[in-house]
Amino acid sequence: MKVLSIAFAMTIIVSGALICSADTYIQGEVYGTWTQAQSPFYVVGNLSVTSGNTLTIEPGVVVEFLGNYSIEVDGLVMAQGTEEDSIIFTGSEQWLPWNGISYINNPEMSVFQYCLFEDVDRYPDGYGGAFYVFDSPIQVEHCTFRDNRANRGAAMYVYLNYVSFRYNVCYDNQVAHHGGAINFGVDEESIVERCVFYNNDADGNTGGAIYFYNNDCPVNHCTFVGNSAAAVLSYGSTSSEFKNCIFWDNPVGSAASIVYSDVQGGWPGTGNIDADPMFVDPANEDYHLMLGSPCIDAGDPNSPLDPDGTIADMGAYFFDQIGFEPGELTVYFDAVDPPVIIPSEGGSFDYTADILCSESGYAFFDAWTELVLPDGQTMSPIALRQGRFINAGDSMHYDFELYVSTWAQPGIYEYWAKLGEYPDSVYASDFFEFEKLPADGIVPQQAEAYATISGGWLTEEETFPLPAMKAVLPKTMLINCAPNPFNPETNLEFSLPVSGMASLTVYDLSGRTVTTLLDREMQAGWHEVSFDGSHLASGIYFAVLKAGEISSTQRLLLLK
């Protein structure tokens, strides 16, 4: 930009603007059209739109105040941005803040749409931050007010006349008294609708978001979250009704009437509820409703239907039940150190699950795993967790550990992770394989097998049974002892090729009977009994197994 002398600049811009290299410096009386091509507009003195004049501001224009300057409007301002290209009113990084826009006894209806108002500071004495409106009509819609400060109404102070305040977002605004965002007084025609108020602050418990004085302004479909002190405060003969609203994470304060609203802690009134509204992402200030929110279709049934043709929802944002499409889910399920081979005695391994959601939308889902065994059986569900939520574009990472016991079936297992609506729908799945080696030794007839999962989305480990290796019926009668030598107990394991009477007796070296461990009908297969020699002296003993005409002997050595 060219460097101009102050005297020359002031001479040119008193009646409007000086344009140079798309940087426009303005002060004094302004009118006509501010275009994006001329933007940004740098305000270097107080501005005025005089009676009979109109100032039109096109989408994409940035108005930056290089000092504590204001705009006084006695004429008409039409500042109409778009959803894709808003108009910005801001203080400069070097000269913060600026002094807001004022209307006093102005019969013209100005319109502000899709505008951002920030960095106004009239704290602690000035009434109205971004707007001071006295007995003047004004329409403010689809606008954002943030980081503004004043004595009352950091976004807007209104006294008398009509204001349409709709589809706006007000956050991080602060006042010394009354109405952290808006302050309306002695007004019967204004309306506040479809607005979100969060993290606004009013010193002294005087309406963190809204303060009404002798006011009948209806408040419909608004969301109040995290505002300081009381979210709303009504004073004097105010009869304003709050309908189809959400009050969460802030006390209400006082209101003439609240109906068909979700109020944390409860509130008397027709149709009111006290339930988590289920915002999409409150940690990041996304106060849209999620699928399953109790606020969906819970508004006044006599209110106009939501745009999707359903009963009115509570809150500023309706949930589109017709056009909602959940995000697409992807899951990656992998062993940490493949290939996984579980030894014969059993063992554990680590694995991970990564869940991703597309940018198209958030998703609710159930998560579970399945285990396909070597014999083709499927164990399902394992580690089922229902009602999971993931935001659009987000991901989740989980670290698991799986232990498989000794007697589990040997062979190749398929281990699956599945996301969906259990058990009817699967949205995404992935799997990996692991191998279990056969257990060594003789398989007990009553052998048991199991697996244990820990970590991941589980709050505590989960154990589930597995089919065990099958015990093979012995072809001969055998007897084994372990440990041997022993002191003072040992286990005797024996096999019977056929069912029938069987006895197991322990003798000493002289052939005297020490004890009979069993003498009864027995099923064919493998069996086990214990022998306690604590009452015996050290030495050699014999365990003799008899079944019919067949016998088998095991030498025992007791060492004390």
Residue 24 lies inside a defined structural domain of this protein: no
Residue 152 and residue 35 share a domain: yes
Residue 107 and residue 214 share a domain: yes
Higher-confidence residue of 339 and 526: namely 339
Res 411 pLDDT > 90? yes
Full domain range(s) for residue 267: 30-287
Burial of 285 (0-12, 13-18, 19+ CB in 10 A): middle
Residue 299 lies inside a defined structural domain of this protein: no
Residue 190 and residue 104 share a domain: yes
Minimum mean pLDDT range among 409-423, 426-440, 449-463, 485-499: 485-499
User: How far apart are the C-alpha atoms of 21 and 503, rounded to whole Å?
Assistant: 109
Beta strand pairing call for 411-421 and 425-436: antiparallel
Averaging pLDDT over each range in 118-127, 282-291, 411-420, which range is the top one?
A: 411-420
Residue 6 lies inside a defined structural domain of this protein: no
Give the pair of three-digit tokens for residue 539: 């030495």
pLDDT in tens, 1-31: 322 222 223 333 334 444 444 689 999 999 9
Q: Give the angle 74-78-82 at the CA atoms, nearest 5°.
A: 155
pTM for the whole structure: 0.68
pLDDT in tens, 90-99: 998 877 899 9
Choose the final residue of a domain: 435, 466, 497. Answer: 466
Name the strand (E) or helix (H) holding 554.
strand 550-558
CATH number at 52 reads 2.160.20
Query: What is the percent of the chain with per-residue pLDDT over 90, rounded to a whole number?
Result: 76
pLDDT in tens, 261-275: 999 999 999 999 999
Residue 507 and residue 443 share a domain: no
Closest CA to 228 of 249, 256, 211: 249
Number of domains in the chain: 3
Residue 233 and residue 340 share a domain: no
Residue 283 and residue 188 share a domain: yes
Residue 198 and residue 67 share a domain: yes
Residue 169 and residue 64 share a domain: yes
Residue 304 lies inside a defined structural domain of this protein: no
User: How far apart are the C-alpha atoms of 365 and 362, rounded to whole Å?
Assistant: 10
Residue 282 and residue 167 share a domain: yes
Beta strand pairing call for 17-20 and 23-29: antiparallel
Residue 493 and residue 461 share a domain: no
Q: Give the residue-averaged pLDDT of 391-404.
A: 96
Residue 434 lies inside a defined structural domain of this protein: yes
Res 242 pLDDT > 70? yes
- For residues 27 and 14, the answer to whether their CB atoms sit within 8 Å is yes
Choose the final residue of a domain: 260, 287, 314. Answer: 287
User: How far apart are the C-alpha atoms of 497 and 149, rounded to whole Å?
Assistant: 93
Residue 552 and residue 455 share a domain: no
Contacts of 350 (CB under 8 A, 6+ apart): 335, 336, 337, 399, 400, 401
Q: Give the residue-averaged pLDDT of 366-390.
A: 95
Give the pair of three-digit tokens for residue 243: 């309908």
pLDDT in tens, 54-70: 999 999 999 999 999 99
Residue 322 lies inside a defined structural domain of this protein: no
Residue 445: pLDDT band (50, 70, 90) is: low
CATH number at 553 reads 2.60.40.1930
pLDDT in tens, 79-130: 999 999 999 999 988 778 999 999 999 999 999 999 999 999 998 888 999 9
Residue 254 lies inside a defined structural domain of this protein: yes
Residue 461 and residue 523 share a domain: no
Residue 9 lies inside a defined structural domain of this protein: no
CATH number at 358 reads 2.60.40.3880
296 secondary structure, DSSP code: T
